Amino acid sequence: MQYSQRLAGMEARFDELTLQMADPAVINDSDLYRKTTKAQSDLSEGVQKYREWKAVRENLDQARPMLQESDPELRAMAEEEIASREPELARIEDELRVLLLPKDPNDEKNVVLEIRAGTGGDEATLFAAEVFRMYSRYAETHGLRVEVTSASESSVGGLKEVIALINGNKVFSRLKYESGVHRVQRVPETEQQGRVHTSAITVAVLPEAEEVDIQIEAKDIRVDTFCSSGPGGQSVNTTYSAVRITHLPTNVVVSCQDEKSQIKNRAKALRVLRSRLYELELDKQREQIGAERRSMVGTGDRSEKIRTYNFPQNRVTDHRIGLTLHQLDQVMEGKLDPIIEALTTHYQTEKLKTQTEAA
């Protein structure tokens, strides 16, 4: 196999880290132990798949000489073994190539989810609320935690804007291709003529930046406090618990009024601010990379119309990969795995092509 030497090195490093995890000197150093377990965990999937590949290859190496046996039963057994193992070996090799692709450093991060109503007036705000519910249900079924930092309701009960933090295991790797314009086609509840209208919302999925990623200086921010609006009881509406942070160099403004505590709101707002600034830095890097490479790997640009939700036909179409499912009712209940898996496979394939061409 093309990458066997690299995989053997990974396996040796994995075994070395496993031994270190049992070393008292490592165990007693919490920072070192955490780094060691993280490094071992990062290698575990690739090493497990490599060991699976070695086992299948060994079975094939044992079966092939049996094709020369004079006993027809032994030859038949060997033929059957080879016929089943060769496709399995090819499948594992494909999976190993994907695992060896350069990792997106943001894949492990939590995300900031921002949904905003676009064209379509009240209907767009209603759809924004439904899409937020869709992602919330998806998060719930995958053991992820959703924390709303701010929300602005419309007069018809929809959402003009909602910003939330989603925390859990590899959240960005799951949701990073959701950024873009989401279009809905259906008959609005307020429409008397029964005509299908088209509305749109924007979805932004930002990797949550940590303090080590983005340093925010105290002199660069202005913090304002104000009374929260909306439901929440007397304490929420009469105390200055809501926080608005303005990043002066970029003029990025973030508000949070979800918590009764000003301290908690400030902490949440800073998390969102870091992620917005981190996204700005990523955008600068993408511009330097150039349009050709961006088109190869996909940027999830929010200006792109990425998906259409057609309610009359119970159809959802992702325009980037030409995927159409007549399961819109299930998708709106948070069953996004078929779409997310298809997108992941598509972009991994694109990266593999790019890697092969560069080799």
Contact assessment for residue 132 and residue 164, using Cβ atoms and an 8 Å cutoff:
yes
Query: Domains in the chain, start-ordered, CATH in brackets?
Result: 4-99 (no CATH), 111-212+299-358 (3.30.70.1660), 218-286 (3.30.160.20)
| Token pair for 274 | 């870091």
Contact assessment for residue 320 and residue 266, using Cβ atoms and an 8 Å cutoff:
no
Q: Is the pLDDT of residue 289 over 80?
A: no
- In which region does residue 194 sit, left (phi positive, over 0), alpha (psi from -120 to 50) or beta (all else)? left
| Token pair for 16 | 């070395």
Alpha-helical regions (H) of the chain: 4-20, 24-27, 30-63, 72-99, 122-141, 171-175, 234-238, 262-289, 291-297, 328-331, 337-358
Select the highest-mean-pLDDT range: 26-40, 130-144, 239-253.
130-144
Distance CA 301, CA 283 (A): 10
User: How many residues can be counted in the chain?
Assistant: 359
Q: Is the pLDDT of residue 296 over 80?
A: no
Give the model's pLDDT for residue 295: 43
Mean pLDDT of 53-63: 94
* Count of other CB atoms within 10 angstroms of residue 293: 12
Mean pLDDT of 143-161: 93
How far are the Cα atoms of 6, 38, 55, 318 from residue 3, in angstroms, in the given order? 5, 23, 16, 34
DSSP string across 114-144: EEEE-TTTHHHHHHHHHHHHHHHHHHHHTT-
DSSP 105: T
Give the model's pLDDT for residue 297: 34
Tell me which of 10-14, 195-199, 209-213, 240-244 is least confident: 209-213
Distance CA 27, CA 47 (A): 23
Q: Is the pLDDT of residue 273 over 70?
A: yes
Strands of the sheet with 242-247, listed across from one edge: 221-226, 242-247, 252-256
Mean pLDDT of 102-119: 89
How far are the Cα atoms of 1, 48, 92, 97 from residue 55, in angstroms, in the given order? 14, 11, 11, 17
